[in-house]
Structure 1
Amino acid sequence: MSKRPYIYYSEMNSPIGILTIGSSSLGICFIYFGSIKRTCSNIETWLKKRFVNAELVEDGEKLATAIQQLDEYFKGERTDFDLPLDLIGTKFQTLVWNKVKDVAYGTTKSYKQIAAEIGSPKAVRAIGGANNQNPIPIIIPCHRVIGSNGSMVGYGGGLDKKEFLLRHEGAIQKIS
């Protein structure tokens, strides 16, 4: 099991609902859509699946900078994040997440483009799978990854949240 004795968490209100944010001693490791009460069992399952043996501890102070940056993002004052991240995933997933992290604010890329950029042009479905497992949405902007034809394709928080985030960034005007 991975040694992260504590995962600190806190909640914040946002225009897309309550977000539960978690951080290890290394950095932000998850953002869940919903309150800790609603998401706690999902978080615990996620940690166990990744062999992370840690105790969840509420600590808003440890997450103050992340909450501030997310708040600035939602207010339109921030277009990128300057936070340490603790990416807990497979080698392939972390490769994809690091590539998705580079998709600029207000722009989109297709799953096909991401696949080509990591040197695996036929891995479009695998890119979708890795994106689906992204533990740090918004900060790792998987909402900016869309279908090759420009269509909205799946989002862990729901397509309504994906559409909101893309509209918020000016990447889309309206979903047809």
Structure 2
Amino acid sequence: MDNQLYRATLNCQGKHYYLLASDQGLVFVGSPDASIDEAKHYLPNSEVANAKEKSLANYKQQLNDYFTGKRSLLNIPLDIRRGTKLQQQVWQTLLKIPYGQTWSYTELATASGYPTAVRAVASAVGANPLLVVIPCHRVIRKDGRLGGYRGGLAMKQQLLSLEAQRC
């Protein structure tokens, strides 16, 4: 696996988001206003420390357009090779949740092929390194409550509201 990463910062609506990408695609999107150290929870420390500055203009433009309500579909190549087999399957399934809709963790587990492993699927959602791009904000508890979100519950609610307005 090519371990060279590139980093950039997206500044949008008064917040900054760290982005990390490989030559294959986007690897990490940070929480709003979080330190680059957040990435070390998802990626090997050496890869984060050695990341080179690069504009990543296409990724930044698409994310900015999403956050400002100009885009509902992100067409960004992703590099999710660092996840386990289960994580990769769950992340691929998350990409199938339509814009403006929500699924429960149980629905996601079933659609991912792990109908009896709801907790493991929920853990894979929590391990998602690509905030917003892999839309884990669209997963809620089966009782209708939001559940957790790395970007914070206020951000999760904002994203769901943004998507609901555009549908």
- What TM-score results when the alignment is normalised by the length of structure 2? 0.90
Displacement of 1:52: 5.4
In 2, the alpha carbon distance for the partners of 1:166 and 1:19 equals 19
Moved over 4 A (4+): 51-54
Bigger fraction of residues in strand: 1
SS of equivalent residue, structure 1 residue 18 = strand
Aligned twin of 1:15: 13
Displacement of 1:109: 0.5
- The CA deviation string for residues 96-127 of structure 1, in whole angstroms up to 9 with x for no partner, is 00000111111101100011112221211111
- Code of the aligned partner of 1:92: L
In 1, the alpha carbon distance for the partners of 2:131 and 2:65 equals 16
In 2, the alpha carbon distance for the partners of 1:76 and 1:40 equals 26
Instruction: Report the count of equivalent residues.
Output: 164
- The CA deviation string for residues 121-144 of structure 1, in whole angstroms up to 9 with x for no partner, is 121111110000100011100000
Aligned twin of 2:38: 42
In 2, the alpha carbon distance for the partners of 1:142 and 1:53 equals 23
Find the partner of 1:76 among 69, 73, 80: 69
Q: 1:16 to 1:123 in 2, by over 3 A?
A: farther
In 2, the alpha carbon distance for the partners of 1:53 and 1:108 equals 32
Map of 1:14-163 to 2, 5 A cutoff? 14-15=12-13, 17-35=15-33, 38-48=34-44, 55-60=50-55, 63-87=56-80, 88-163=82-157
In 2, the alpha carbon distance for the partners of 1:16 and 1:136 equals 20
Unaligned runs of 5+ in 2: none
SS of equivalent residue, structure 2 residue 109 = helix
- What TM-score results when the alignment is normalised by the length of structure 1? 0.85
CA RMSD of aligned residues (A): 2.0
In 1, the alpha carbon distance for the partners of 2:36 and 2:49 equals 13
Displacement of 1:47: 2.0
Q: Tell me which moved more, 152-161 or 38-47.
A: 38-47
In 2, the alpha carbon distance for the partners of 1:155 and 1:133 equals 10
- Code of the aligned partner of 1:161: M
SS of equivalent residue, structure 2 residue 76 = coil
Displacement of 1:15: 3.5
- Code of the aligned partner of 1:18: H
In 2, the alpha carbon distance for the partners of 1:164 and 1:53 equals 29
- Code of the aligned partner of 2:74: F
Q: Tell me which moved more, 87-96 or 51-60.
A: 51-60
Displacement of 1:59: 1.1
Task: State the identity %.
Answer: 35
**Alpha carbons 1:24, 1:86 under 8 Å: kept:** yes
Displacement of 1:16: 7.2
